[in-house]
Amino acid sequence: MTSSYSADQIQVLEGLEAVRKRPGMYIGSTGPRGLHHLVYEVVDNSIDEALAGYCTHIEIDLNTDGSVTVTDDGRGIPTDTHSRTGKSALETVLTVLHAGGKFGGGGYKVSGGLHGVGISVVNALSEIVEVTVWRDKKVHTQRYERGVPMTELVAKPYKEARTGTSVTFKPDAQIFTTGTEFDYITLAGRLRELAYLNAGVKITFTDNRLEILKSDAPKVETYEYKGGIKEYIAYLNREKQPLHEEIIYVQGERSNVQIEVALQWCTDAYTDNVLGFANNIRTVDGGTHLEGLKAVLTRTLNAIARKRNKIKESEPNLSGEHVREGLTAVISVKVPDPEFEGQTKTKLGNTEVRGIVDSLVGEVLTEYLEFHPSIADSILDKAIQAFKAAEAARHARELVRRKSVLESSPLPGKLADCSSRDPGESEIYIVEGDSAGGSAKQGRDRRTQAILPLRGKILNIEKTDDSKIYKNNEIQALITALGLGVKGEEFDSTQLRYHRIIIMTDADVDGAHIRTLLLTFFYRYQRSLIEQGFIYIACPPLYKVERGRNHEYCYSDRELQEVIAKFPANANYTIQRFKGLGEMMPEQLWTTTMNPETRTLKQVEIEDAAEADRIFTILMGDRVAPRREFIETYGSKLNLAELDI
């Protein structure tokens, strides 16, 4: 059979049809992340009005029918007829991709919305969109369904001189197949972040979904921070011990690029937490603003260290990671023509920003530290201490390497490696104990799957300094098996020996503890592993239900109840509860947990870096009081029957 391939087969996707066909291109995914992205797109438009100086209050409501309403008191989307499209400007913005006021036409000086796809994409991917605009003493309304206008733009007189825009949209279940329920905590995290980044803007967030809340009153939170990112730093460090009370703050503008930086070092933190934002968008993958900040911090502190004779002439400079040890920093830049790498806008590319950050921060920081010598001394003492600890750790590492060379095997002895040398197709299972390791080694696919059994619980690296880390056998085995390199150095993914690092622990409390310790290790030792999506968690079954010759595996108590519910009332069946992976036959382990065709893997992601950092500090850190407070706050929500005490 021959199929003809002619001009008729070439599809031209008109207007918003392209968005519905390939939603992932515009919002990243059709899972929870993409769903929440819709809200951010609409809120970003209101924030842009605030940046332009026209909006002071933004309200976000989660409604009972699953829709969201975003209302602001900005200028309102223009409603007059657009000369090129012949439709109202409002309809143009909502139905035409790459239409907007942010391409340098004088509507906005700085904005986060860059591609002009924001609100039109939300319109395309929603069952219903209702827009209300107040301007020129009129109220204008229009309704859309899946991107198609259902009504004309209707205008009615309005008595008050109110201006602003209100957008209500209900995500389309045909597109978001994993569900259209918004998560309050995810949205609250981003809205709080926006309020910190835009000092003085008031954001009110209301959840009216009483059934989900299990309460009889809506939940309302207001975010308004006069101190902006200084208050953000105070929020991030509230569980830590600051080295200096006053937060160092730099603000300035050069060549139309606005810069804000807030810095505070803490005594009880051994890594840095530097968050970068460009036009309110969090730049997860860094960019020129972060490069500039890191360079200027290193240069300035080395200059002051030499001036104050903290480093002798013959001694080398302090490196960036030592200078930044214990630092929490937020840098927010507002750039008129931002160049983001990728549609999801996670890396800033403007080269001029590097120099502007460097010079502005350099001047203010030098002046500040010269006027506050005691603060300069404590920051430098911490950096020098970090440098000495790193030297000790380096000696420990060299010792380790020498030892392994003598044993003629640089890889740990208990690692059962895979035969493939291509990291892209290789995966490593980190398992607890030798019995589970034995089953996994027998059940695996030797070509692409490696197994590393760990003995006992690994070190909690949140509480230990670097020199102890390298003396620990289990951590040594992890570092060499994975090819991780040195803590704090730039992560080089080409050295990574496996592109899937899978934590496979028992489904009990000890297994959960070991998993937490491993995640702490990856988060603090080499955070990029998690950020770039290399870390996974295996999901072994909890139960095996046998009835006659048939059997099923259940991965949760709920699944077990569902399987049992299908049986007739008088059915004979047996339930086997797997206490540990060592109890499973190699063949069982392969089919349920390790076979790429049938297994379930959870990829570990960090949606909210600030919150992740705080939780690791509270739950795994040195100080007991914040942990106790955390347990008292959330203890009531635990199912006490599941606790192993």
Q: How many CB atoms lie within 10 A of CB 234?
A: 17
Query: Can 506 be counted among the known catalytic residues?
Result: yes
| Domain 17-223 homologous superfamily, CATH | Histidine kinase-like ATPase, C-terminal domain (3.30.565.10)
Query: Can 613 be counted among the known catalytic residues?
Result: no
Query: Can 49 be counted among the known catalytic residues?
Result: no
This prediction's pTM: 0.68
Helix (H) or strand (E) holding 586: helix 586-589
Domain boundaries, the chain: 17-223, 229-389, 411-540, 545-577, 613-645
Integer angstrom CA distances of residue 305 from 266, 325, 378, 388, 636: 19, 16, 11, 15, 50
Structure confidence at residue 183 as a pLDDT band (50, 70, 90): very high
CATH number of 411-540: 3.40.50.670
Task: Express each pLDDT in 542-558 by its tens digit.
Answer: 899 999 888 899 888 88
Strands (E), 455-542: 500-504, 535-538
Task: Express each pLDDT in 414-455 by its tens digit.
Answer: 889 999 989 999 999 999 888 888 889 999 999 999 999 988
**What class, spelled out in words, does domain 229-389 have in CATH?**
alpha beta
Of 51-55, 127-131, 209-213, 437-441, the one with minimum mean pLDDT is 51-55
Question: Among the options 291, 339, 510, 552, which is catalytic?
Answer: 510
Contacts of 186-191 spanning 24+ positions with Cβ under 8 A: 186/32, 186/36, 186/607, 186/608, 187/36, 187/39, 187/60, 187/62, 188/221, 189/607, 189/608, 189/610, 189/611, 190/36, 190/40, 190/43, 190/608, 191/43, 191/60, 191/223
Task: Express each pLDDT in 267-314 by its tens digit.
Answer: 888 889 999 999 888 888 889 999 999 999 999 999 999 999 998 888
Question: Among the options 508, 546, 557, 622, which is catalytic?
Answer: 508
Question: Among the options 207, 506, 531, 613, which is catalytic?
Answer: 506
Q: Which of 274, 267, 380 is nearest to 621 (CA)?
A: 267
At 635 the three-state DSSP class reads helix
Query: Can 608 be counted among the known catalytic residues?
Result: no
Which residue has better confidence, 388 or 149? Answer: 149
pLDDT at 97: 73
Question: Among the options 73, 432, 474, 613, which is catalytic?
Answer: 432
Q: Give backbone dihedrals phi and psi of 169, rounded to 5 degrees, phi first.
A: -140, 150
Section 593-603 average pLDDT: 91
